[in-house]
Amino acid sequence: MTRPWLFIVGMHPSGLEGLSAAARRDLDDASIVFGSPRLLALADVGERGKPWPVPFAVAPVLALRGQARVAVLASGDPFHFGGGASLARHLDVGEWRNHPQPSTFSWIAGELGWSQESTHCLGLHAQPFETLTPLLAEREVHLLAA
């Protein structure tokens, strides 16, 4: 089995205090940490922090394969509308360790009192806004765009 070099860390709005001991250890041990400016600040990674390129691309992370211990920050669950799957499709199982938090969808639905099974969740950051049109109707629809 390959030893992990990539640590995918889901962040909760509570920041570092919301991380498990294992997630905190992997984040602390990473020499480079990728994330959005908001998540880099929330994780307090200082000079180790590298903002994601705009538009989003996984190439800068993959370029460090085998050269450094790298952490990637995501909101909530990195494999629920997050960058986790985008990275994993280029890697062998065992190269990464995932530290998910409740997904942003789960967190917001809970804050609003919405049942997840009756709420549509769409990832519009990589799709046209018109994706919503078929879902709009003259009835109450809980819709959360991630």
The predicted-structure confidence for 12-52, as pLDDT tens digits, reads as follows 988 999 999 999 999 999 999 999 999 999 999 999 999 99
Please give the tally of structural domains in the chain.
2
Q: Cβ distance 19 to 27 under 8 Å? A: yes
User: Is 78 within the bounds of a domain?
Assistant: yes
> Is residue 74 located within the same domain as residue 39?
yes
> Is residue 80 located within the same domain as residue 132?
no
C-alpha dist (Å) from residue 26 to 19, 70, 125, 136: 11, 9, 28, 42
> Is residue 19 located within the same domain as residue 83?
yes
Give every residue of the chain whose pLDDT is below 50, as ranges.
Answer: 138
Residue ranges making up the domain that contains 139: 105-145
Q: Give helix then strand counts, H and E, for the chain.
A: 5, 7
Phi, psi angles (nearest 5°) of residue 119: -120, 130
Per-residue pLDDT at 105: 87
> Is residue 55 located within the same domain as residue 119?
no
Per-residue pLDDT at 121: 79
> Is residue 35 located within the same domain as residue 55?
yes
> Is residue 46 located within the same domain as residue 111?
no
CATH number, domain at 82? 3.40.1010.10
Query: What pTM value is reported for the model?
Result: 0.81
> Is residue 82 located within the same domain as residue 98?
yes
